[in-house]
Structure 1
């Protein structure tokens, strides 16, 4: 999403911003007291650059302010224009001088948007303690190994813990553990240095592949990209959602069980 925004909306000038009239729309901009307070800080501004911090997207404006976006469980940006009807659950629409609009759509309204000055941004507690980002260039396997040993937790729960690692949900935690050959309930402080390196590589490779295939869109079609197109990584999944089907590596049937209320998929032969 950040890469698409960088290519498609950076450099565009905002001529109009609308927070829709529903009560749910105010939940999305809940850090602002009024709709106008939010929209006035966007109108007339150009989008200068994009940045991602954990699960937050930061859209930097040309006056130094920052539009901060968190998609929650179901939020997404979709590009559109006046000829296209707004999708259901559209809460915010940002119109550009040239090149259509940007819609924030969120059925469950757990996401949020707000505009902050650089000083205000520094006081946002959610941005002060961003967890490990597996795609960050400063993320090293040495530091990762130390963090794993310190936590002494079961691997799947730890990889899904947003205070430990940013952005790794149910699907990718299963795929990463399969690629690394590790069981979901393996304790993080029992990994050898070779297993840490394998897990480190698996994190990078699985996430980069998911980005290359533009994300994972399951049957509920909850995820689409900036242009409303589904991702294709679901066709590359090795274990997630494949209970009872043969492992792509060894042909042993994939198993599933509940871990903290979520299904965990794994190969009993390839993962230890």
Structure 2
């Protein structure tokens, strides 16, 4: 059983990795600002993110028009007719829509020049992705092919029940596995477990079906509320939507990052433990 890492009262937010609500928030702002605009220029640096950025691969986008912006889990798909850009923000990536000629900020690895606007992809830690694929072959993108159903898709409850029945792994590990359900990360898996009253260390296969169904409902509710709040921007200030706006769901977090502080539901002191190399937060009274 992992050991508890102390209990000093503190907000112990670390780097907030963009999860489904943040990526969906970016998708909506990109759609509002860029759909229908034509690409008139491109600047790509030959740098290694999680995949290499090949400057030559972006040139065929010149003259195309952005048709729509889709999301699959934590991935964004910018569809330009026969070609699509596959983007992942990784740990620190940002997509910002700025005015033409705006100064490049540090770590800007890709700039798409649209009519009347520019899209800048910044990624200081270089864990993101930026690739161009034929739209007809998106199913062949390795990173997309292995994804489970989207966490907001219909039928997630049954997927979760089936996945839990096959393993004794901690339930949080199941939620973070993108092959099971796509889009959840540590923040929203933690908050969904808190709402469902389940400890993150609980073996998935030992959970009753009724508790897993309650968890599926909690996943949907926390994700929908976070999207409505524009995502979660923590003390690191990392997340911004495509127009530079912060998200406000941090004020609703029940246990995540709140080690030693009161659980917002019962007032008990929130605990933190190490689980799978990452911090797991829980309320010892509410979560069993």
TM > 0.5? yes
Match of 1:113 in 2: 130
| CA apart distance, 1:182 | 0.1
Match of 2:244 in 1: 228
What is the distance in 2 between the residues matched to 1:31 and 1:87? 20
What is the distance in 1 between the residues matched to 2:92 and 2:69? 21
What is the distance in 2 between the residues matched to 1:97 and 1:171? 37
What is the distance in 2 between the residues matched to 1:248 and 1:55? 28
| CA apart distance, 1:79 | 0.9
Q: 1:172 aligns with which of 175, 181, 188?
A: 188
Query: CA, structure 1 residues 30+173, in 2 after alignment: closer, same or farther (shift >3 Å)?
Result: closer
Q: 2:47 aligns with which of 4, 9, 26?
A: 26
| CA apart distance, 1:28 | 4.2
The 8 Å contact of residues 41 and 115 in structure 1, kept in 2 or not, is answered as no
Structure 2 residue matching 1:45: 3-state secondary structure:
coil
2:239 pairs with 1:239: no
| CA apart distance, 1:226 | 0.9
| CA apart distance, 1:167 | 2.0
Matches within 5 A, 1:2-21: 2-20=27-45
2:77 pairs with 1:58: yes
The 8 Å contact of residues 28 and 91 in structure 1, kept in 2 or not, is answered as no
Runs of 4+ in 1 over 4 A off after TM superposition: 28-32
Match of 2:61 in 1: 42
What is the distance in 2 between the residues matched to 1:13 and 1:51? 18
What is the distance in 2 between the residues matched to 1:241 and 1:31? 33
What is the distance in 2 between the residues matched to 1:142 and 1:113? 33
2:275 pairs with 1:259: yes
What is the CA deviation profile of residues 203-231 of structure 1, one whole-angstrom value per residue up to 9, with x for unaligned ones?
A: 00011111111111111112111111111
Q: Which has the higher contact order (CA 8 A, sep 6+)?
A: 2
Flag structure 1 segments of 5+ consecutive residues without an equivalent.
none
Flag structure 2 segments of 5+ consecutive residues without an equivalent.
1-25
Alignment RMSD, CA only?
Answer: 1.8
What is the distance in 1 between the residues matched to 2:51 and 2:179? 23
